[in-house]
Amino acid sequence: RPFVEIMDVAMRYGGVEGTLALKDCSLTVGKGEFVAVVGPSGCGKSTLMRLVTGLWPMTQGNVIVAGQEVDRPLSSAGMAFQAPTLLPWRTILANVMLPLEVVEPHRRRLRSERAMYDAKARRLLAMVGLKGFEEKFPYQLSGGMQQRASLCRALIHDPALLMLDEPFGALDIFTREDLWLELQTVCQTLKPTVILVTHDLREAVFLADRVLVMSSRPGRIIAERKVPFPRPRT
């Protein structure tokens, strides 16, 4: 059984007269598979991500993740979006560790376990070039650096499902390609199921096992291609 099943999903914003952002949108993703969703701006990619993670209620259809219907926000998924959503009053390190509190808010962690996650957060931050910024606050970092911190936050709890919506959008091409390699390494190690939204076809082909193309008005998946092996090199 697929890990993520999106079945005939429709989404209309703002009542019956509102924008029909998605209609009859279906897709399945196998466990450990990395799929990329590409399509023109405004075709509904971000909307699809919000429905799969339960952040918005859908107008029609079903989403099932790990055999369970998604009817509320999925706290177990790792998410990183184009607009970094770091909490301004927390340090970068504390932001990266945030999912640990959200997933099991009432659980008190052992000191050794906290130390382990603290070390892991620092390791992830170092991996994306943010060593030395652990104790800074988000406003002290550039947009691209905040994006990198968001990616670390998405990875801190080894999520089985990783949802990435233009996670490298604000990065220059060099940093972006470095992060592709980092993400590829992380994915080969942890084998999460990944859905990546991007408008960068090279990024999609480089990272994903399968590339899905969305059309607009209303948004749905209209084509898919397996990425040939060996992968194209940057």
Q: Which residues of this chain interact with ligand ADP, rule CB under 6 A?
A: 13-14, 19, 21, 39, 41-47, 82, 166
**What's the min distance (Å) between Cβ of 210 and ligand ADP?**
18
Residue 170 region, left (φ>0) first, then alpha (ψ -120 to 50), else beta?
alpha
- Residue placing its CB nearer to ligand ADP in the complex, 19 or 76: 19
The least distance separating ligand ADP from the CB of residue 44, rounded to whole angstroms, comes to 4
Minimum CB separation from ligand ADP for residue 51, in Å? 10
Entry field: residues in the chain? 234
Smallest gap from residue 145 Cβ to ligand ADP (A): 19
Structure tokens at 128: 């994306």
Rounded to whole angstroms, how far apart are CA atoms 93 and 193?
A: 25
Q: What's the closest the beta carbon of residue 185 comes to ligand ADP, in angstroms? A: 26
d(CA 192, CA 178): 20
Please tell me whether residue 149 adopts helix, strand or coil conformation: helix
Residues forming beta bridges with residue 29, ordered by sequence position: 4
- In angstroms, give the least distance from the CB of 59 to ligand ADP: 12
Contact 52, 2 (CB under 8 A): no
- Which of 161, 164, 135, 160 is CA-nearest to residue 148? 164
Nearer Cβ to ligand ADP (47/53): 47
> How many Å apart are CA 179 and CA 80, to the nearest integer?
13
Q: Which is nearer to ligand ADP, 114 or 217 (CB)?
A: 217
Distance CA 86, CA 72 (A): 21
Gyration radius from the chain CA atoms: 18
Nearer to ligand ADP, 52 or 194 (CB): 52
Nearer to ligand ADP, 11 or 125 (CB): 11
Which residue number, 125 or 212, has a Cβ lying nearer to ligand ADP?
Answer: 212
